[in-house]
Chains A and B, each alone.
Chain A
């Protein structure tokens, strides 16, 4: 009995000291929670910018004159060195698990991002759910200093802007690290990363007065795509091209599509409810020929010209008209990408690899040179389901 008691107390003591989980504990007031990360290139290494939450401000009920976030910048020869270099600037150790956004400076992106991707996945503190973006035409550092209205934390604002716009606005796209790395590693596929840029004055944007204004003169936009070749940024697609890219890749969930009426007077806008794409490849005389079918379903959302929507014929005509216009747009985009970027962002090579592995092996090595030359046909079909809550457009009398 005595022995049992002794053993029990030993066990309890041992468990008490060893299972508390206090080994490398970090209390909330000892860590600096980073929400955004900016990576830039400097002459001999990297510039590392973190956007850190100012917890007192985020939780504050009374309005104060301090900003909700702070940015710290440090330079180092490698990213990890720069990260640790932060400790002599920031009062607390930076905690990276809540990163929402990683932004590459354009210069760094043009130079190649693969080295930084290694760090972003090797370090255990990073999760994989942050969005990746490139700061278009600027340093990531500058972008992270812009304060935004509505969302107190700018990285969150970018995150949610991208989240909602990727659902309701065709040109934008969410890229996560796992996708990006897979795309760079796999053959016959090149990545795109969404670009983020500012409108308005950057200096003004980093001042609290920016968010005191109703219109917030400086703000962040997320609607363009950067084309990569391997791990290097080689150019930007404009908004129309980005839209077509997302249609062809089947990324579009819901968007608005603007069409001019036949007689060029007024316009019709379609609310796209569903879009899908199907890519196929056929080999003719040893040359691959790609066929992309994009089917779009939508409702009429906005009519600004005089047509009779109540006739089945008109709807059919409209469908045909829209299909043609979209087809032209998509085909133009593909040939533009082939000519200007020479980068297989559509994954056509990957398509051959997945469906015709034997043929792929014969052309794999020359694919990069072959891609700009291959024949691609994109065909769009538009289907109109509903006309909204009213039938024909109102016939308002206009003053001539």
Chain B
């Protein structure tokens, strides 16, 4: 029915950028301020350095297997049965991630803006857009990202630039006065939200990207730019709001925009943050969902993933309604389980692939 889908490298890089800043731009500063205190920004820097290594590793795998996505790869390396089980785990991971992201946006809207709207309806409305987007195909989403990316950047820049006058470096002094353990912990938390899930992107998309020229350099630059955005968000929230105040808020970046007031001219621009966040999270959610749908349809050997899009979309909505009973559960789960869960897929699993590949090569030779 539909031909082979293809996106170009630039679109892939935009995906990468939007995916990384997706949830973390609003959520990370709070947890980082809690874990690493005054050195929250340092955690992001450390995270960025580790992150570059991690995504280059993902890239390496996708260069080894340019024509395999995760389902093919699992079948090739681990055999039909074990491979399928691995794929199912991956699908669960993608679905759970999608559901939690959807829940987060619903929670954000309900706590900060639409106070009396029932949360389920925000989930439903948002997910219907995502379902429609995925149904139209990844190319459509990719073109949408090209269309909306400038707005995301512009809106964030507005908020960041106008925050500069109210920054106070004293609020994050003393520099470096925190144990290395806490910095790594903060970096890990940041990575678990922003970088480990990128595995989803690298395991599904390289098959779609045909342009292979100087990919490594471009991917690294896109990733660093995205992490710098998170760094800016963390740095600005902690210097403007102070460490304690940042970590007591669930969505500090939004609060930052709320506090902004430039001579009475520019004020009440918190909606800008909300809009840019909704845009980025739309892509994050779409990519998770697309990964889950395509992987599942490949496992089930259905004709086209489009036939599963709608029912699985409804499933994500249902899942998002039950995953987090409360916001307390959410932050608790993020800090006790998610960091390991995403690390399993973000670190352990690629390592497993690498090891399996090496063993396979050895066997081939002998």
Residues of B within 8 A of A23 (CB): 114, 116-117, 121
Residues of B within 8 A of A127 (CB): 258, 268
B115 at the interface (CB under 8 A from A): yes
Cβ-defined contact, B173 with A354, below 8 A: yes
- Cα A358 to Cα B178 in complex, Å, equals 11
Pick from A124, A178, A353: contact of B259, CB under 8 Å: A178
Q: Kindly provide the distance from the CB of A374 to the nearest chain B CB, expressed in whole angstroms.
A: 20
Q: Give the interface size bracket for B toward A.
A: 20 to 34
Cβ proximity bits A340-366 to B, threshold 8 Å, 1 near / 0 not: 000000000000011111100000000
Cβ-defined contact, A357 with B258, below 8 A: no
Which residues of A182-241 are within 8 A (CB) of B?
Answer: 182, 185-186
A65 at the interface (CB under 8 A from B): no
A304 at the interface (CB under 8 A from B): no
Cβ-defined contact, A24 with B245, below 8 A: no
With A128-B258, A354-B170, A357-B177 given, is the CB distance from A182 to B125 under 8 Å?
no
A64 at the interface (CB under 8 A from B): no
Cβ-defined contact, A181 with B244, below 8 A: yes
Cβ-defined contact, B173 with A18, below 8 A: no
With A23-B116, A127-B268 given, is the CB distance from A186 to B242 under 8 Å?
yes
Q: Kindly provide the distance from the CB of B320 to the nearest chain A CB, expressed in whole angstroms.
A: 17
Cβ-defined contact, A353 with B258, below 8 A: no
Residues of B within 8 A of A18 (CB): 121, 125
A332 at the interface (CB under 8 A from B): no
Cβ-defined contact, A182 with B121, below 8 A: no
- Cα A23 to Cα B109 in complex, Å, equals 13
Q: Give the interface size bracket for A toward B.
A: 20 to 34
Cβ-defined contact, A24 with B116, below 8 A: yes
A151 at the interface (CB under 8 A from B): no
Cβ-defined contact, B121 with A124, below 8 A: no
B267 at the interface (CB under 8 A from A): yes
Cβ-defined contact, B174 with A182, below 8 A: no
Residues of B within 8 A of A312 (CB): none
Residues of A within 8 A of B116 (CB): 23-24
Residues of B within 8 A of A185 (CB): 244-245, 248
- Cα A357 to Cα B174 in complex, Å, equals 7
- Cα A357 to Cα B117 in complex, Å, equals 47
Which residues of B312-327 are within 8 A (CB) of A?
Answer: none
Cβ-defined contact, B241 with A182, below 8 A: yes
- Write the chain A residue with the least CB distance to B260: A129
- Cα A176 to Cα B261 in complex, Å, equals 12
Cβ-defined contact, A125 with B242, below 8 A: no
With A18-B121, A178-B245, A182-B244 given, is the CB distance from A24 to B115 under 8 Å?
yes
- Write the chain A residue with the least CB distance to B245: A182
- Cα A353 to Cα B242 in complex, Å, equals 14
Looking at chain B's contact residues, the main secondary structure is helix
Cβ-defined contact, A129 with B267, below 8 A: yes
Cβ proximity bits B142-181 to A, threshold 8 Å, 1 near / 0 not: 0000000000000000000000000000110110010000
A63 at the interface (CB under 8 A from B): no
Q: Kindly provide the distance from the CB of B112 to the nearest chain A CB, expressed in whole angstroms.
A: 6
Pick from A124, A129, A181, A355: contact of B112, CB under 8 Å: A124
A19 at the interface (CB under 8 A from B): yes
- Write the chain B residue with the least CB distance to A356: B174
B330 at the interface (CB under 8 A from A): no
Q: Kindly provide the distance from the CB of A354 to the nearest chain B CB, expressed in whole angstroms.
A: 4
- Cα A358 to Cα B249 in complex, Å, equals 28
Residues of B within 8 A of A121 (CB): 248-249
Which residues of A156-195 are within 8 A (CB) of B?
Answer: 176, 178, 181-182, 185-186
Most buried by A among B117, B244, B268: B244
- Write the chain A residue with the least CB distance to B241: A178
- Write the chain B residue with the least CB distance to A14: B128
Cβ-defined contact, A355 with B244, below 8 A: no
Which residues of A119-152 are within 8 A (CB) of B?
Answer: 121, 124-125, 127-129
- Write the chain B residue with the least CB distance to A180: B245
Cβ-defined contact, B245 with A181, below 8 A: yes
B335 at the interface (CB under 8 A from A): no
Residues of B within 8 A of A128 (CB): 255, 258-259
- Write the chain A residue with the least CB distance to B261: A129
With A23-B116, A129-B267 given, is the CB distance from A355 to B241 under 8 Å?
no
- Write the chain B residue with the least CB distance to A25: B116
Residues of B within 8 A of A178 (CB): 241-242, 245, 255, 259
- Cα A18 to Cα B245 in complex, Å, equals 36
Residues of B within 8 A of A182 (CB): 171, 241-242, 244-245
B111 at the interface (CB under 8 A from A): yes
Cβ-defined contact, B115 with A125, below 8 A: yes
- Write the chain B residue with the least CB distance to A129: B261
Residues of A within 8 A of B171 (CB): 182
Which residues of A3-45 are within 8 A (CB) of B?
Answer: 14, 18-19, 23-24
Q: Lowest 4 CB-CB distances: which A-B pairs, in order? A: A24-B116, A354-B173, A182-B242, A185-B244
Q: List 19 A-B contacts (CB under 8 A).
A: A18-B121, A23-B116, A23-B121, A24-B114, A124-B113, A127-B268, A129-B258, A129-B259, A178-B241, A178-B259, A185-B245, A186-B244, A354-B170, A354-B174, A355-B173, A355-B174, A356-B174, A357-B174, A357-B177
19 new A-B pairs (CB below 8 Å) besides A178-B245, A182-B171, A182-B241? Answer: A14-B128, A19-B125, A24-B117, A124-B115, A128-B255, A128-B258, A129-B261, A129-B267, A178-B241, A181-B244, A181-B245, A181-B248, A182-B242, A182-B245, A185-B244, A185-B245, A185-B248, A186-B243, A357-B177
